Amino acid sequence: MSLGLVEDRLVFEKSRAGRRGVTLPASDAGEAPLESLLPGGALRNAPPALPELSELEVVRHYTRLSGKNFGIDTTFYPLGSCTMKYNPRVHEYGASLPGFARVHPLQPDETVQGFLALAHSLERALAEITGLAAATLNPSAGAHGELTGVLMVRAYHHDRSEPGRDTVLIPDSAHGTNPATVTIAGMQVQSVKSGPDGRVDLGDLREKLGTLGGRVAAMMITNPSTLGLFEIRIGEIARLLHEKGALLYMDGANMNALLGIARPGDFGVDVMHLNLHKTFTQPHGGGGPGAGPVAVGEKLVPFLPVPRIVQEGGAYRRREDFPKTIGRVRSFQGNPGVFVRAYAYIRSHGGEGLRKVTEAAVLNANYILARLRDAYDLAYPGPCMHEAVFSARRQVKQNGVRALDIAKRLIDLGFHPPTIYFPLIVPESLMIEPTETEPKETLDAFVAAMLTIAGEAAEEPQKVKDAPVTMPVTRLDEVRAVKQPRLRWRPR
Amino acid sequence: MRYVPHTEQDRTEMLRAIGAGSVEELFAPVPKELRPKRPLDVGPALTEPELQSWLEETAARDRSAADLLCFAGGGFYDRFIPAAIDALVSRGEFLTSYTPYQPECSQGTLQYLYEYQTMMAELTGLPVSNASLYEGATACAEAMLLSWGLKETSRRVVVSAAVHPHYRRTLETYARPVGLEVVTVPAPGGLTDAAALRKAATPETLAVLVQQPNFFGAVEDVPSAVAAAHAAGAQAVVAADPVALALLEAPGAQGADIVVGEGQPLGCPLAFGGPTFGFFCVREEHVRKLPGRLVGETHDTRGRRAFVLTFQTREQHIRREKATSNICTSQSLYALRAAIYLSLLGPAGLREVAALSVRKAHALAEQAAKIPGFALEFPKAPFAFEFALRCPRPADEVVAAGLKRGVLAGIPLGPHDPALRNVLLVAVTERRTAADLDRFVEALR
Amino acid sequence: MARPADCRYLASHEWARRDKAEVVIGITDFAVEHLSDLTFLDLPKVKDKVEAGKPFGEIESVKAVSDLNAPVSGEVTAVHEDLAESLETLAKDPFGQGWMIRVKPSHPAEWEKLLDGTAYLKVCDSEGGH
C-alpha cells in the first residue's frame, strides 16, 4: 500500500453536474415521450442524486480506493476459520468466458449443457470428497447452506411423523451462524459444552440427549472444530445421535483440513455444507460472493432443494418435480460463477493433490503453532489441524496488551490480523490459519512479526496499544458510529 | 503443485521445528479407521494449459448472449456493462480482500460500500441501505422476516401473484418452518388486483409484497398497495428493478417501508444466475432489525473521516440465536460493480438506459403483436421494458424455433402457470438495436 | 466503588433494592465497567410483566449485547425513560441515578433467594473483578 495513492473524498464529492462516464447510442426506436408509454402518476419526480464523473475520474477514484485495502495479492491473511488462500487467476479467466459469464439463468437446458455438466461434475466431486450421496449447489453462501441443511433435517423428521423434534444441539465453540440458522429454521438451540481438551463434552451430550430425548432433531458440529482440533470421538457422537433418531449435521467451514484425510460421510455425518469460497478458493471480494453447497446422505436426498441437476440420456436437465423437496432457496441455481472457480481448483489438484493441499495446510498451521508457542499461550495442546488458536491472556496480564492491540500492531508490520475474539470460549483468542498456499518464508516473516510484538508487549506496550500508525486511518470511534449513525452521504 | 509452494527442504525444516517425524504424524488425532483407503476420485490433476482448454471447451458448449440475441429477462437482463467495471473489480486489493472487520486496512472496501449504500438509498427513496444481500429472492424473504419481527404476533404475509414466481417460492421455503402463511393475491390482466389486495390485507397481516415493475413487466400502482398494507398495520414491501427506478417513482417516496430487489441489472454479468447481489433498504427506525452488513461513517483517533461496519450487535456473530438474520456476508464485490456502474452512468446515463429500454420494448411489442397469431397477453397493463406475449403455440416451441435463428426470444411462462403455456415473457434492453428487433420478429414468424 | 448495603444481587450483575412495596432494579458498577462503550438500552414498558431470572431488557456495547435479568417477578410500575439517552449516567451512578425499572413484586419471597453483598462480591472476584 502506498500512501501516495490514498483517496479521502467520496465519489459524490467529486461530482460535477453534466459530466458523464458512459454515453449510449441515440434511440433507434423513436423518441416517444415517456409520459405516453408509462402511467404519468408512476413517473419519478426528482432524479436520484447519483454522482456525475468522467470515466477517468471513476477509474482513478476506485483505483485509489483500492490502495486503502489489504488483499491476499498484497498481504498474508492468516485469518482463522476464513481460509484465505490464493485465488488462482485462471479461475477468473474461466468464469469470464462468454459461455459462463453471458448465459441467462432461464435459457433452455439444451443451450447450457456446458454449465450444467460442470455443475453436475462439481456436485459429484463434492459428494466424493465428503463421502455422501448427493449435493446441491443452490445455496448462496455458508450460512445459506446451513439453513438449507437444517430445513432438510426438519423436513426429514416431519416426513417421518416426528414434528416434535424441534431442538438442535450446538457446541459452545460453534460459529454464530449455527444458532442463528436454527432460529430462522423455526427450531430451538441447546448448547453443548466443550470439555477441557476443547472437544465436545460427551457427558454433557449424553445428558442433553437424555433430557431432551425425542425432541432432538440434530446436532450441528464443526469438525475440525473452531479450535482447530479434530473431534476424535466423532464416531461415538454420531452413534449416540443416531441411536436417538437424531441426525448429525457438520459445518464444513473447516473442510480444508480433511481433503482426502477423512470423509464426513464415513464418520457418520448425514448432512453438511461446504464453503466453496474457503476450501475451494473463491476470491472473498471484500465480503462476498461465496457459495454454500450442501452434501447429504441417502436419507435426505428426497428433500434437496430445487432445481436439481439430473443426467438423463447423456444430457443434463434441471428438474423441480420432487414431491418432498424443501423448495426453492433462492432464484435460479445458486452462484454458478463460483462453481467454475471451485471446480477448477479441484481439477487443478486431482485426488492426490487435494490430499497434499490439506497436508500442506496442516503442516503450515503446526509450524506456526510450534514457532509461537513460547511467546503466546496456546489455547489447547497440539497438534492442531488447519489452524492454531492462541490466547493473549499472558500479554493482557503483563501490561494490558489485548488481542485487539496485537492485531492492530500486525497491520503496521504488514500483515492482516488473525481472527480475534473467536471462538468465544477462548479469552483473548488469536486464531491463525495460514492455508496451504503460503510459502515458509512468509510464515517465518509472520512469526518474526508476532515475536516482535510479544517483545513490545513486554517492553513498550504503548507502541502496541497505539497501533496502527502506518495506515490511512488510526483506530476508529466505533461508539460514535452507533450513537450518531451516518449511514449514507449527504451534501453538507 | 503450482499452488502449494513447499519444497522437500521446506517440509524437512518445518517438521524439525514442529518436532514431528513426518507430516502423517500431524494427523494422529484422526482415527486410523476413518482414513480412506484410496485417493479421492475427482479426475486427474490438470496443468493450467490443460485446465484452460477444458474450461474453454466446456464454456463453448453453452450458447451465450454473445451469440444469441437475448430477449430473456425475469429479473436478469442482458444490459451493457462498461469495460471499466471488470478492470477495476479485478484489482487484487478489491478481489482478494476479506470482510472489512479490521477497518484500518479495509477503508477501500468500507468506503465503496458506504457509497453503494448512498446510491441505493437514492434510487429507492429510503434513508438506509445495507451493504447488500445474496440476491433478489432471499432479499424478499429477509424483508418478510424483518416485518415479522416488527409485528411478532402476526403470521400472515400477502403477496401479489405478479411477484416473480421464484421469489414467491423462496418466501414459502422461509415461511413454512416458522409458521408464517403466504397468501397470494391474483393479478388478472397482469396487474395486482387492488381490491383483492385490500381484502387480503387483514389486521393479522405483517407484510404486503408487490413488485415494480412486476414479473410480467407491468407498472404497478404502488401507492395503492402501500395504502392496503398500512391500513392493515403491515409493512409495505416493494421488490423493485433498480434500472426502472431511474424513471419510476422511488417506492420509498410512495410510502414503502422496505424496498428490496435484484441487483444484477447494475453492471453484473448474467452468469447463469449468479453471483449478483440483492439490495435491501429500510426506514431509519428499522436499522436495529436490518439483516446483513451495514457501514457507517465515524472518525479515527486523529479526527479523520473513516468508515466502519456498524450496528454489529444485530448480527449472528454476536447475537447468535437471537440475531436478526443468519446472514454473515454481503456480496461486496457485486455491490462494488453497482457503485462503479452508477458512478459511470450518473443520473442521466441511468435514465437513458431505462428510457432506451422502454422505447425499444414498446416498439417491439407493437411489431410483435402484429405478427399473425401473436398478441399482447395483458393489453391494458402499462409496461416498462418487458411484456407478456401470447403465441399461437406453446411458448417453449417458440423459443426453440428462435434458437435456430440465433434468438433467445424470452421466457416461457408455462412452468410458472399452466394457463400461460402459450405466453412468452419478452424483455428488451438498451443493447438491442432496431435490426435486432427485426430479427426477433423474423424468428417468430 | 462501594456497593450499597441495602441491595441484593443476581450473579448476572443486576441489583435490586426494596423501596416501600416496590423493588428498584439496575445493573452494578462491575457490569457497567465490563460492558464498556455502551451504545443502546432496551427497557420494558410500564405494566409489562417481568419474571425472576428472565430477561426484561437488553443493553448493548459496540460489540456485545447482554440480557438484563429481573431479580424478582412482578409488574413494571415505572421505567427510567431518559436513561437510554444518557447512558453515561450508568457509569457515574449505577446504584442511584442509573436505576432502570421499578417492579411491584408478585412473589415477595423471591427476595430472599437473591445474593447479598458478600456473596455477590465473591461472584465478582471469581470473574476476575475487584
In a domain, C123, yes or no: no
Q: Is A53 left (phi over 0), alpha (psi -120 to 50) or beta?
A: beta
Position C128 scores a pLDDT of 63
Confidence bin at B195 (pLDDT 50/70/90):
very high
- B210 backbone φψ class: left, alpha, beta (φ>0; ψ -120 to 50): beta
The pLDDT-based confidence of A6 (bands split at 50, 70, 90) is: low
Nearest-neighbour CA in chain A from C48: distance (Å): 25
**Residue A296 and residue A404 in one domain:** no
Q: What integer pLDDT is reported at residue C4 of this predicted model?
A: 87
Give Rg (Cα) of chain C.
13
Of A292, A317, A322, give the one whose Cα is nearest residue A305: A322
**Is residue C24 in a domain?**
yes
Task: Mark yes or no for CB contact A99/B166 under 8 Å.
Answer: no
Is residue C88 classed exposed, middle or buried when 0-12, 13-18 and 19+ CB atoms within 10 A define those classes?
A: exposed
Q: Please name the member of A41, A117, A327 whose beta carbon is closest to the beta carbon of B61.
A: A117
**Cβ partners under 8 Å of residue B79, min gap 6:** B243, B265, B267, B353, B429, B430, B431
A287 touching B (Cβ < 8 Å): yes
**Interface check C62 vs A, CB under 8 A:** yes
Sign of CA dihedral A170, A176, A180, A185: negative
Q: Could you tell me the sign of the dihedral formed by the alpha carbons of B269, B273, B276, B280, in that order?
A: positive
Q: Which amino acid is at C45?
A: K
Cis peptide before B275 (omega within 30 of 0): yes
Which chain C residue has the Cα nearest residue B315?
A: C63
- CA pair distance B423, B74, nearest whole angstrom: 14
Instruction: Please compute the mean of the pLDDT values over residues A75-87 and round it to a whole number.
Output: 94
Q: Are residues A406 and A433 in the same domain?
A: yes
pLDDT in tens, B305-325: 999 999 988 887 878 888 878
List CB contacts (< 8 A) between C62 and chain B.
Answer: 312-313
Smallest Cβ–Cβ distance between A103 and the set B19, B272, B363 belongs to: B272
Task: With CB atoms and an 8 Å threshold, state whether B15 touches A349.
Answer: no
Residue among B362, C96, B15, B133 at smallest CA distance from A144: B133
A17 touches chain B (CB under 8 A): no
Domains contained in chain C, number: 1
Instruction: Compute the C-alpha angle A278/A280/A282, nearest 5°.
Output: 65
For B5, residues 6+ apart whose C-beta sits below 8 A from its C-beta are A437, A438, A439, A440
Q: Which residues of A touch C40 (CB under 8 A)?
A: 482
State the first-to-last Cα distance of chain B, in angstroms, to the nearest integer. 56
Q: Is the separation of the CB atoms in A399 and A457 below 8 Å?
A: yes
The verdict on A356 and A247 lying in the same domain is: no
Q: Which three cell numbers stand for residue B412?
A: 416461457
**Contact status of A476 with chain C (Cβ, < 8 Å):** no
Determine phi and psi for C34, rounding to 5 degrees.
-75, -30
| Strands annotated E in chain C | 7-9, 14-19, 22-27, 38-42, 49-50, 55-61, 64-69, 74-79, 101-105
Residue C31, helix vs strand vs coil = helix
Count structural domains, chain A. 2
Topology of domain B84-339, CATH: Aspartate Aminotransferase; domain 2 (3.40.640)
Query: Based on the domain organization, do A403 and A385 belong to the same domain?
Result: yes
Q: Can you tell me whether residue B371 is helix, strand or coil?
A: coil
By the 8 A CB rule, do C25 and C83 touch? no
Instruction: Give A397 to chain B, closest Cα distance, Å.
Output: 24
State the CB neighbour count (10 A cutoff) for residue A266.
15
- A260 and A213 both lie in a single domain: yes
Q: Where are the alpha helices (DSSP H) in B19-77?
A: 23-26, 48-60
**Which residues on chain C are in Cβ contact (under 8 Å) with A483?**
39
Residue type, B39: P
Q: Answer yes or no: is C118 within a domain.
A: no
Q: Which of B439, C10, B327, C102 is nearest to A147 (CA)?
A: B327
- Do A320 and A408 lie in a common domain? no
Chain C contact partners (≥3 CB pairs within 8 A): A, B
B63 in contact with C, Cβ within 8 Å: no
Q: How far apart are CA A472 and CA A451, in angstroms?
A: 25
Q: Give the nearest partner residue to A176 out of B80, B296, B323, using CB atoms.
A: B323
Q: What is the mean pLDDT of the segment spanning A370-380?
A: 96
> 96-115 in A: which are within 8 Å (CB) of C?
none
> C43 to chain B nearest CA, in Å?
15
Predicted model pTM: 0.96
**Pairs of CB atoms within 8 A across A/C:** 11
* CA separation for the pair B45, B39 (Å, rounded): 12
Residue C83 lies in a domain: yes
> How far off is chain C from B313, nearest CA to CA, in Å?
6
Put simply, the answer to whether A286 touches B320 (Cβ < 8 Å) is: no
Grid cell locating C97: 441515578
Q: What percent of chain A has pLDDT over 90?
A: 93
Q: What is the pLDDT of residue A3?
A: 45
Q: Average of pLDDT values for B85-105?
A: 96
A243, with CB counted inside 10 A (0-12, 13-18, 19+), is: exposed
How high is the pLDDT of residue B321?
81
Cell of A406: 496485537
Q: What is the pLDDT of residues A265-299, one digit of tens each?
A: 999 999 999 999 999 999 999 998 999 999 999 99
Backbone φ and ψ for A360, nearest 5 degrees, come out as -70, -40
Instruction: Give the ranges where A133-243 is alpha helix by DSSP (H).
Output: 142-159, 177-184, 202-212, 234-243
The set of cell numbers assigned to A169 is 444441539
Residues 144-183 in B contacting A (C-alpha not used; CB under 8 Å): 145, 164, 166-167, 169-170, 172-174, 176-179
The C-alpha of A481 sits at a distance from chain C's nearest C-alpha, in angstroms, of 9
C-beta atoms of C64 and B318 within 8 A: yes
- pLDDT surpasses 50 at C11: yes
A421 interaction partners in chain C (CB closer than 8 Å): 63
Report CB contact under 8 Å: C63, B319.
no
Same domain, A123 and A161: yes
**In the prediction, which pLDDT does C130 show?**
44
| Complex prediction ipTM | 0.97
Sequence-separated (6 or more) residues with CB below 8 Å from residue C44: C50, C56, C57, C76, C79, C101
For chain B, say whether A112 makes contact (Cβ under 8 Å).
yes
Whether the CB of A223 is below 8 Å from some CB of chain B: the reply is no
**Mean pLDDT, chain A, integer:** 95
Do residues A262 and A364 both lie within one domain? Answer: no
The CATH number of whichever domain residue C104 belongs to comes to 2.40.50.100
pLDDT at A135 over 90: yes
Ramachandran bin of B417, using left for φ above 0, alpha for ψ from -120 to 50, beta for the remaining angles:
beta
Q: Are residues A357 and A332 in the same domain?
A: no
More confident residue, A441 or B325: A441
Strand partners, B212: B240
- Please report whether residue C130 resides in a domain: no
CATH of the domain at A408: 3.90.1150.10
Neighbouring chains to B with at least 3 Cβ pairs closer than 8 Å: A, C
Whether the CB of A239 is below 8 Å from some CB of chain B: the reply is no
CB pair distance less than 8 Å for C40 and B313 = yes
CB contact under 8 Å between B311 and A485, yes or no, is yes
Record: contact A487-B36, CB cut-off 8 A: no
Statement: residue A1 has pLDDT above 70: no
Chain C residues near residue A482 by CB distance under 8 angstroms? 39-40, 62
Give C17-67 pLDDT, tens digit per residue.
Answer: 999 999 999 999 999 988 878 999 999 999 999 999 999 999 998 878 889
Q: CB C65 to CB B313 under 8 A? A: yes
Q: How much is the pLDDT for C64?
A: 82
Domain assignment present for residue A17? The answer is: no
Is residue A67 domain-resident? Answer: no
Residues A325 and A225 in one domain: yes
Cα A387 from Cα A471, distance rounded (Å)? 27
pLDDT digits (tens, 9 = 90+) for B137-176: 999 999 999 999 999 999 999 999 999 999 999 999 999 9
Domain ranges of chain B: 69-82+346-444, 84-339
Cβ contact C40–B312 (<8 Å): no
Q: Is residue C21 included in any domain, yes or no?
A: yes
Compute the mean pLDDT over every residue in chain B, rounded to the nearest whole number. 97
Tell me the three state secondary structure of residue B299: strand
Q: How confident is the model at residue A7 (pLDDT cuts 50, 70, 90)?
A: low
Average pLDDT over residues A314-333: 97
Residue B48: list chain A partners with CB under 8 A: 90, 348
Q: Looking at the complex, does the CB of residue B46 fall below 8 Å from at least one CB of chain A? A: yes
> From start to end of B233-390, where are the E strands?
235-240, 258-262, 278-282, 295-299, 305-309, 375-376, 386-390
- pLDDT value, residue C1: 56
Q: Is A36's Cβ below 8 Å from some Cβ in B?
A: no
Q: Containing H/E element for A121?
A: helix A113-130
Using a CB–CB cutoff of 8 Å, tell me whether A376 touches chain B: no
**Residues B215-273 pLDDT 10s:** 999 999 999 999 999 999 999 999 999 999 999 999 999 999 999 999 999 999 999 99
Q: Do A322 and A374 share a structural domain? A: no
- The CA distance from B143 to A177, in Å, is 19
What is the extent of the structural domain holding C13? 7-112
Q: Do C65 and B319 touch (CB under 8 A)?
A: yes
The CATH architecture one would assign to domain B69-82+346-444 is Alpha-Beta Complex (3.90)
Q: Are residues A252 and A378 in the same domain?
A: no
Mean pLDDT computed over A200-223: 96
Query: How do residues B276-295 score in pLDDT, each as one tens digit?
Result: 999 999 999 999 999 999 99
Residue A5: the pLDDT is: 45
**A247 is in which domain, residue-wise?**
91-348
DSSP state of B248: B
Give the nearest chain B residue to A473 (CA atoms). Answer: B104
What's the pLDDT score for residue A4?
A: 45
Q: Give A81's strand partners.
A: none
pLDDT-above-70 percentage for chain B: 100
Q: Answer for the pair B167, B239: CB distance below 8 angstroms, yes or no.
A: yes
